[in-house]
Amino acid sequence: MIRLCWKPMRLLDIDIPSGQILRGEKQRLVMPRRYQFDWLKQMSASGSEVCLETAEGDIRGDGEAFAERVCCMLYQRGMLANLNLRENILLPFLYRGRSEEMARATTELQLVAERLDIADKLDDQAGERSVYMHALISLARVMLLRPDFIVVQDVHTGMPPHRQDIFRSLFCDVVEELGVGLLYLSTSAQEGSGLEFCQSLEFSSAEEIL
């Protein structure tokens, strides 16, 4: 059984208890955005407190192997501005440089792009894009990477309502199809993801930065 686990963590001025998610489970941590960033930073920092427990052994959050099985979808951080959309989606494959994986991803990309309605935009420079487009590119990457877990950081917020509806539907379908475990970091319990969480924990700080 694969599990995404984390030890107790100190995020700025609040303490997060240890936790775990099984594959197929959905859990939500509600906390202000700067705590979310700190959580993500600590997850991929060296000596990470987050790890993936697998039958082959534990994989710590600071390595390339962890990123292959745990995919992140970050709020308005789905793309590098100086690459085009195709390169952005294929970036993890281009970095690893494994030819079989690369060939599979390139073949599947067209189908994924058509499903997300971005097929005609793949060769456009990323530059400055909307929250919706950042979220779509992150989702396209998840669909190609097929991870065991997804860590989502508030990707549903800040979209126009009709875009949010489209994205919510696409996102729920992909999560169900892949059967992944999901950790949702959100600023609000009404984050608009449309997911049913098995557990939702709320953390608040002593001082909010507006």
Partner 1 sequence: MDMRRAHPGYWNSRAESIGEASMHLLGGLTQFYAFIAVILRYVVRLQWVSRPAVMHVLIRQIYFTGVQSLPWMVTMIVLAGATAVYSVVPFARQLNDPSLIGTLLNALLVQEMVPLIVGIFLLARSGVAVVTEIGHMHVRGEDMLLQSLGISTAEYLFLPRLIAFGLCGLILTMLFAGASVWLGGLMLAWTNEMNFTQFLLEARRGASLDGMLLLVAKGLIYPILGCAMLLFQGARAGHDPNQIPVCTTRGVLWGLMLVVFVDVSIALFRSLL
Per rule CB under 8 A, is residue 25 in the interface with partner 1?
no
Per rule CB under 8 A, is residue 81 in the interface with partner 1?
yes
**What is the smallest separation between the CB atom of 71 and partner 1, expressed in angstroms?**
8
**CA distance linking residue 96 with residue 63, whole number of Å:** 13
Count CB-CB contacts under 10 A for residue 88: 22
Q: In the chain, which ranges are E strands?
A: 3-6, 9-11, 14-16, 19-22, 26-30, 50-54, 57-60, 70-73, 149-153, 181-186, 199-202
Residue 185 one-letter amino acid: L
Rg of the chain (C-alpha set): 17
Q: Which stretch binds partner 1 (CB under 8 A): 14-22, 79-87, 117-125, 164-172?
A: 79-87
Q: Looking at beta carbons only, is 96 or 189 nearer to partner 1?
A: 96
What is the size of the binding site for partner 1 (CB under 8 A)?
29
Per rule CB under 8 A, is residue 78 in the interface with partner 1?
yes
Site string for partner 1, 115-154 (x = CB under 8 A): --------------------------x---------x---
Q: Looking at beta carbons only, is 78 or 181 nearer to partner 1?
A: 78
Per rule CB under 8 A, is residue 63 in the interface with partner 1?
yes
Measured in Å, how far apart are the chain's first and last C-alpha atoms?
Answer: 42
**CA distance linking residue 167 with residue 148, whole number of Å:** 21
Tell me which residues touch partner 1 (CB under 8 A).
Answer: 37, 40-41, 44, 63-68, 72, 74, 76-82, 87, 91-92, 94-97, 102, 141, 151
